[in-house]
Structure 1
């Protein structure tokens, strides 16, 4: 779903850490590089105050692995900086990931210990992907998780993602995509619209009003250009006068007004009364300005029709990373595990299923060894991993963005009521480990 169809994607090979390649060089030198290994991505705990996480970035990982190629420029840089020796450079020149990858599809809920991604291949094949995989999954999952909380708080009212000016330019595109998966209606980011087909929206900022000699002239110019269905920003000067002028200029069929400052709950109530008194009963009210899930939830009873969210969504609303790690769990079929204090891992490749009540409410996440024995899968149980790559190639019919949006909605509906609370607490459902 790239912008330039048919044009090779830029190499992702150097979007990695130095130590990935020094490990590779050492493994090539001592003969362990070809040992069959399994790496898993999981999180030991959810961010403080969170009761669930939502997977984001899986499709971007698939694309990024496909573009993980060391071309002439990348090899020249590694040679000039003496990162690795000539033997390793020669190996990298021919690198193509040829292993298998399974994982939770985008939009799936996850909990502590969930095997979110499983990478199988040689040590050399898989170890070099660690940083690339984690940088995508940690970022996108943090954004989807925060945005899902906001969508839930909005209770069906649309949210516009408008955080591009508050983050790195590349992160802005990924954030818009992640927020859309979580249920946001549109984005202001045109690159994300071009790359992923996400609906874009936007009208005017305060600068457009200040450009004109008076507010009436600014509104008239915007309506002339965009029609009466546009959204007029009414709080540059006096909001009451701004609403009055907006209806005078556009008429009672004005599409919407936007309030971007002040106590937006109180102002929205006053605006609704004023609009109705002026006959603009169908004019919608959009609010923005430092909103997060808590602010959105507090506005649920107010006459707000849509929200614009920026800084909080692109920063994960206080949890900018999902805390995921990429750990070696199996070598040549033998489980291996890290025992460091507070950084423990469980050995062996694992699978997972989610148990549900007959009503559809989730009960628990069951994580079990792939080598068996497998738990009995009941009528209301659902296996969670799907194939993503086979022999280094993407599998057919991977989930679409719309599939992922639907999966988020279905996942949140399945959570116990307590698990949807914005207050801190235990994970919405427990993770149960079955031993081999």
Structure 2
């Protein structure tokens, strides 16, 4: 009985609807409570209460979008089990779809590894210092030039949507290749020491296990512990050749001036503090360097191209504000609602947040298990980058579109 209750709870928590509640709770804590508390006790910047107010508007708008979509969408979007389900969808062969995804990913991985100047993971094992590893991580993808820059965009789409989507689908159909796919993806994720990328493997699989009622509280705790240990280990490798400071500067914890004293301290600071002060710094830079004028899509490569305006790399301005300088691979990305605000003001926060609510509702109602289990990556993307980037650069718009038009047939049919 206890096991059944545990399975039911994890299923609810890790469903897209439960994920939406977790996401909204995280927004409330990180971008409403903490900024408001910091403003009240130690940070007399107007951008702190502004961020808190933006967050409240965003949370309410996401809920409006979510329940509006659920109320108006057709029954054809319901998960497997609804009568006459998916009758309108164009059928595709399971082997063709997932074979194509993995053929592209394996070919891409081989090409990327053999053309990279160095492989950061191997350098870390050889004792390279933090500065060297930072340069190598940047050169691995972001440092490509000319036509090779396409590698960066293809990597983003593959690792954020297509490969995790396919991997969950392989597990759902109990394919004999499911564990091989997970190992291949993990190996690629750690090859260039992008420490959080392996979460694109772990989080969708946890969501799938909950969906399939195979994830009890004990397994969930073990999986989360392993994920944290992996992050700390990867961070320790990144700093293995450097001498950490003897103490951390706790007075500056909510700034880029904080110096983590250990790998564990770095992971905690990076997860808890960096998202908050980067959002605040984005608002500060928007006010001080752009007179708080709406940027009308200039921060987005896609929107600036569509609107015919000059592209402004706001993330680099923020990075320079935080660290005093920037390089070709440095960016400071902030939560999606700050991007919406600096581009289109309060109406932008309202509209973009409604679109986020639509997306969560679509993942909740879709027939496609692979798409349902991508909600953690989608939420993580919104937490640290723009909605436009999450939808288009990360490939979510492609997966949403395909899910609404096509049905991947069972592999045995």
Please give the TM-score of this superposition, normalised by the length of structure 1. 0.22
Higher strand share: 1
Bigger RCO (CA 8 Å, 6+ sep): 2
Whose Rg is larger?
Answer: 1
